[in-house]
Amino acid sequence: MPKLTIITIVFNNVRDIERTINSVLNQTYKNIEYIVIDGKSTDGTLAVIEKYKINIAKLISEKDKGIYDAMNKGLAIATGDYVLFMNSGDELYDEQTVEDVFDAAPGADIYYGETEMYNDNWESLGRRRHEAPETFNWKSFQFGMNISHQAIYIKRSITEPYDLKYKYSADIDWIIKATKKAYNIVNVHRYVAKYLVGGMSKKKHRESLKERFEIFTKYYGLIPNVLNHIVIAGNLAFYFIKHRRTND
């Protein structure tokens, strides 16, 4: 039973934090180290977290320099064999999720699965537009981020701190770096996370896209990245046309 560190980052999200905490604490898999990093919330979030403090391995509540700085704090104190980020507002898919992930195959460097999206009223929007690929490696993000941050379990020994020069898309850079070091990557063939649509990258969409382009260019090269984005634009147009016809 490998030890899994689950890290939740939160700041002033009193509405959703309890739902996220319960999705972790209710897991049938028991070898979980749960870390919560709070950015010195002032809206009652910390009071909610304190209710569950006995079941939280480590709690830090202090000001930070942004979400990826907070994530680095969690990584720095994690002791698990694997790490997973399940930030406030998101959930593990069901109570059996972590157990099923590790039952899929022994000793993988990375496990990944599918994500279901939810809106602000916690109503299902279905699967993400980018379906999780059957196989995954460091080149798999060439045509878009097809695995969400909440749906990937990475062996801690192959992770690095988030690069703080990226404010909105450092998670993409982080996943690619780890994946380049991985030898055994396992698709668990199930939904593993529920994702609340929104977040910083959605609020700062243009800046996020610029960072993504920069990151993809770093790993895949400028010309291939430009060509890949032409394909991405075509796929996006086809997706919206298809769904418009379906809705009509």
pTM > 0.85 = yes
Residue 211 CA to residue 165 CA, distance in Å, equals: 10
Most confident of the following: 47-61, 113-127, 197-211:
47-61
pLDDT of 16: 96
Contact predicate 15/21, CB 8 Å = no
**What secondary structure letter does DSSP report for 5?**
E
- Looking at the predicted structure, is the pLDDT value of residue 201 above 60? no
pLDDT over threshold 90, residue 67:
yes
Of 146 and 55, the one with more pLDDT: 55
Q: Span 217-227, mean pLDDT?
A: 85
Q: Which CATH superfamily is domain 4-202 in?
A: Spore Coat Polysaccharide Biosynthesis Protein SpsA; Chain A (3.90.550.10)
pLDDT of residue 174: 97
**Domain spans of the chain?**
4-202
Structure tokens at 192: 């593993």
Whole-number Cα distances in Å, 93 to 44, 101, 115, 204, 232: 26, 11, 8, 27, 28
CA distances from 60 to 18, 41, 73, 84 (A): 16, 11, 9, 17
- Confidence band for 166, pLDDT divided at 50, 70 and 90: very high
Of 245, 239, 241, the closest CA to residue 126 belongs to: 239
* pLDDT number for residue 236: 56
Statement: residue 15 has pLDDT above 90: yes
- Report the percent of the chain where pLDDT is more than 70: 89
Q: Is the pLDDT of residue 128 over 80?
A: no
In the predicted structure, residue 85 carries a pLDDT above the cut 80? yes
